[in-house]
Amino acid sequence: QVQLVESGGGLVQPGGSLRLSCEVSGRTDRTYAMGWFRQAPGKERSLVGFVRWSGVSAFYSDSVKGRFTISRDNAKNTMFLQMNSLKPEDTAIYFCAATIRILAPLMRPDSYDSWGQGTQVTVSS
């Protein structure tokens, strides 16, 4: 397993930007994919996007496509989530997650083995 630590959350006005970081430590050599999820109060945890650790392109949910970008620095074992044009409905706790399961459906939270503690993002004027 790996250990994940998110950072970069905070309060931002609508239309603003934030960049979240997810630092990965431990058995990173077995990581197949990593994802970003979010959970708003009273709602289920939902996918923001994911990226295969050896791949190039990322997959995004429709709600964030065109506004959010996932990137990673493999040398530093860090994944990023750049969030632009933020909306109040983006307010949630954001989690990064990692999985070693190659055949798991990467859109599902239960496909991931390791989770960070989460970081709060609040979009409000």
Per-residue pLDDT in tens (0 to 9) along the chain, 125 residues: 899 999 999 999 999 999 999 999 998 888 889 999 999 999 999 999 999 887 778 999 999 999 999 998 888 889 999 999 999 999 999 999 999 998 889 999 999 999 999 999 999 99
**Strand partners of residue 3:** 25
Of the candidates 55, 42, 57, the one whose C-alpha atom is nearest the C-alpha of residue 91 is 42
pLDDT at 34: 94
Q: What is the pLDDT of residue 38?
A: 98
Looking at residue 10, its pLDDT comes to: 97
Four-residue CA torsion sign, 8, 92, 64, 46: positive
Q: Which residue from 1, 38, 5, 25 is spatially nearest to 116, judged by alpha carbons?
A: 5
CA–CA distance, 26 with 60 (Å, rounded to integer): 26
Query: What are the structure tokens assigned to 56, written together?
Result: 């190039």
- What's residue 30's pLDDT? 86
